[in-house]
Every structure is written in structure tokens, then in C-alpha cells.
Amino acid sequence: MFAPPPPPRIVPASAASSLGTPPPFTLPEGDKAARWNALRDIVLNDATCQARVYAGKKVVFGVGHLDATVMFIGEAPGADEEEQGEPFVGRAGQLLNRMIKAMGLERSQVYIGNILNWRPEMGARSPDGFQTGNRPPTLDEMAYCLPFIRAQIDIIQPRVLVALGKTAVDGLLGADRFKTMGAARGSWHAYNGIPLRATYHPSYLLRQEGLRSEAALKIKRDAWEDLLAVMEKAGMPISDKQRGYFKTG
């Protein structure tokens, strides 16, 4: 049986949780593929997850190489992801793909998952199908889905974890651990003994695109520094060109 290590620290002990935790699940003995397929079935058929997606939309499970050395973890699916049933396929996903490529990897060589398996919508969907935007997941929602991303990490056993944005940091390291993204990034942390680097979420980086301010340039430079640190930790080769991407002068 997969027993999630410590109880999620994101839920204050006193808070009553309305979603609770998923029914305990058992993954088969055997190779990674057997365990991953079993877990995927469990998540895609989970009644709580299914109850949170609209007809025709999909619960979203992780994708990628089961022997990936680098595993990226984001926040939650958006409109494109719930449509296609795959994490990071919209605009943020295209930027993530470019980041992965800049590291010298293909998307198919890494593993990509999310803290949440359904799209957290801002408000109710109107009868004509009009949707409002995404909202950040609640602590309750995160607590419900955490066993699923934890089990994926347990199966993949990547050499390095990359937490994309504050929700991923909070989910994996505890919401009480860092006040801001700025405090979380720039150094190494560990999740169950696996080195974890926090960096900016691709959606946040997209909002800096085209901006020439020193602050925006620093955010982009810092994000690349984070990825260089990940490459180093993962034992990947780093070319002079890669090191020099943001060097000036």
C-alpha cells in the first residue's frame, strides 16, 4: 500500500477539511510502468477528481519519462490542459517546453506533473459554457491531491525536482516554510531526500515577456540561473553558450 510519508503540512491541524484525503490506494509490486499505470487509473477514475471537472473535460495526470532525471511540478491544469488531459500544453506549457529545450533536453525526456489534478476555476461556468479564469488551488484541494503527486515522485525517483511557482513549493515543502517565491528560490531544498529547486512559474515568466525593466530582466535571469543549478545537480553537461545566455557586456 502506498502510505504518503508525513501528513500534508499545508493543512493546519485545527482546520476541518471538507475534501479530506483520497481513499487509500495500493499500487502493484513490479516495475515503474506497472505502478505508474495503476496510479494513473486511480487518479483518472477518482470520484472526487471527476466531480470537479465539467462534462467533456479531463482530470489531468502527469506525463513524461518514467526514468526522468528531472521532474517539473506545476500548480494546476488550465483550460488547455483540462481539454487535452495533459499538463502544461497551453501557453505556459510552450514556455516550459522552451525552457526544457534550453537545458538541452526534450519534453519526452523529463517528467511533468501538477499539485492539483483538476482545473480550479474562478467562478461557476455559465450555461453557455463561458468560463472565468483559473484561481489558485485552496489548501483543502491541494491536500486532497498531494498523495497523487507524492506517489508519482515515489515512482519516478528523479534526481532533481523543480517546483514551478509557490503552489508547488507549498505543496511539496509545506505552506508555512517560505513566505514568498523570492525566499524559496536560489538555494537547494529536499523533498524526501530528493534535491528540490524552486523557480518561477512559467505563467509568471510569460508576464515578464517583452518587459525591458531591470526587475523583469532579473526575474528571467534568476529563472535561468535556477535551471543551470538544476542541470549541474542532475549531472548534465553545460556549454559555455548555456552559461552565457544572460551575460551582459
- Cβ proximity to ligand URA: between 92 and 223 the closer is 92
Distance of closest approach, residue 239 Cβ to ligand URA, in angstroms: 29
Q: Does 117 bind ligand URA (CB under 6 A)?
A: no
Q: Which of 8, 22, 64, 87 binds ligand URA (CB under 6 A)?
A: 87
Q: Does 71 bind ligand URA (CB under 6 A)?
A: no
The answer to whether 219 and 200 have CB atoms below 8 angstroms apart is yes
Q: What's the 3-state SS for the chain?
A: CCCCCCCCCCCCCCCCCCCCCCCCCCCCCCCHHHHHHHHHHHHHCCHHHHHCCCCCCCCCCCEECCCCCEEEEECCCCHHHHHHCCCCCCHHHHHHHHHHHHCCCCHHHCEEEECCCCCCECCCCCCCCCCCCECCCCHHHHHHHHHHHHHHHHHHCCCEEEEECHHHHHHHHCCCCCCCHHHHCCCEEEECCEEEEEECCHHHHHCCCCCCCHHHHHHHHHHHHHHHHHHHHCCCCCCHHHHCCCCCC
Q: How far apart are CA 158 and CA 229, in angstroms?
A: 15
Q: Does 78 bind ligand URA (CB under 6 A)?
A: yes
Distance of closest approach, residue 90 Cβ to ligand URA, in angstroms: 6
Q: Does 151 bind ligand URA (CB under 6 A)?
A: no
Q: Does 88 bind ligand URA (CB under 6 A)?
A: yes
Binding residues for ligand URA, rule CB under 6 A, total 13
Q: Which of 52, 69, 70, 81 binds ligand URA (CB under 6 A)?
A: 81
Distance of closest approach, residue 211 Cβ to ligand URA, in angstroms: 20
- In DSSP terms, which residues pair with 72 in a beta bridge? 112, 162
> Which residue has the CB atom at the shortest distance from ligand URA?
74
Distance of closest approach, residue 195 Cβ to ligand URA, in angstroms: 21
Interactions with ligand URA, residue window 96-115 (CB under 6 A): 114
Grid coordinates in use for 43? 487518479
The answer to whether 166 and 207 have CB atoms below 8 angstroms apart is no
- Cβ proximity to ligand URA: between 76 and 228 the closer is 76
Distance of closest approach, residue 72 Cβ to ligand URA, in angstroms: 9
Q: Which of 22, 62, 77, 171 binds ligand URA (CB under 6 A)?
A: 77
Q: Does 76 bind ligand URA (CB under 6 A)?
A: yes
Torsion of CA 121, 123, 129, 133, to 10 degrees: -50
Q: Does 92 bind ligand URA (CB under 6 A)?
A: yes
Q: Does 199 bind ligand URA (CB under 6 A)?
A: no
- Cβ proximity to ligand URA: between 64 and 90 the closer is 90
List of residues contacting ligand URA (CB under 6 A) = 74-78, 81, 87-88, 90, 92-93, 114, 203
